[in-house]
Amino acid sequence: MKLLGLFRHAKSDWHDARARDFDRPLNERGTKGAAVMGRHILEHGVPWQRALASPAVRSAQTIELAEAATGMTMPIEWDRRIYLASSATLADVLRDQPDRYDRLIMVGHNPGLEDLIFDLVPEDGSSPLREMVEVKFPTATFAVLELDIDSWADLHDGCARLVHLMRPRDLDPDLGPQLIED
C-alpha cells in the first residue's frame, strides 16, 4: 500500500494583471491558510517522506509557509510537469517515483489535483469524502489517499480510497469563502 497526500496551493493574488500566472504570489488569506494547513498536516501525523511540487511561486510559498509554521522540512522535488497539469500528467509523475517512498505528498493546482482524486477514487460509496471534493476542492485543501498498490508504476484508475480531507475553512472560518456584502 502507498499513501498519497494532495495539497492544493493556498489562495493567490490576482491584483497584478501584468504578472505571469506562474509568478503569482499568495495573498494575505493564502499566507494565513498555508500556515494553518501546514500545522494540520503535521498534526495529522503521517511522516511524509518526500514532496513533489509545482515550481510556481504560489506553490513554493505555500510549502515555505507550511514548513515555517511547523518547523518541519522534507525533501522536495520541484517538477515543472505538475504546474497546471492534467490528472493524466500528475499520474505519470507519480508512476515515475521510486518505490522506496511509500508516503508522498504532492503540492499543485486545480483542476488537476481534483481530477486526480476523481480518477483514483471510485464512485462506489467506499469513500464518502469524495462527495465533498465533487462540491469543491478549494485552495489550501489537503487530502490523503490510500492506494492499493505496491509500486508507483502500478498506479491506475480506481485504486484509491480517500481517507482524509481538510479545508482551511474547517480549521478557521475566516479562511472560508469571502461573501460580498451589499
42-68 pLDDT tens trace: 999 999 999 999 999 999 999 999 999
**Residue 82, domain CATH:** 3.40.50.1240
Confirm whether 182 is domain-assigned: no
Confirm whether 169 is domain-assigned: yes
Q: How much is the pLDDT for 182?
A: 38
How many domains does the chain fold into?
Answer: 1
Confirm whether 71 is domain-assigned: yes
Confirm whether 141 is domain-assigned: yes
- Determine the average pLDDT of the residues in 30-46: 94
With cell 522536495, the residue in question is 76
Which residues span the domain enclosing 90?
2-175
Rounded-to-10 torsion of CA 104, 108, 109, 110: 0
How far apart (Å, rounded) are the C-alpha atoms in residues 134 and 114? 8
Helices and strands, counts by H and E, the chain: 6, 6
Q: What is the pTM of this model?
A: 0.93
Confirm whether 83 is domain-assigned: yes
Q: Is the peptide bond before 55 cis (omega within 30 degrees of 0)?
A: no
Confirm whether 112 is domain-assigned: yes
Q: How confident is the model at residue 126 (pLDDT cuts 50, 70, 90)?
A: confident
Q: For residue range 61-115, what is the model confidence (pLDDT) as tens digits?
A: 999 999 999 888 889 999 999 999 999 999 999 999 999 999 999 999 999 999 9
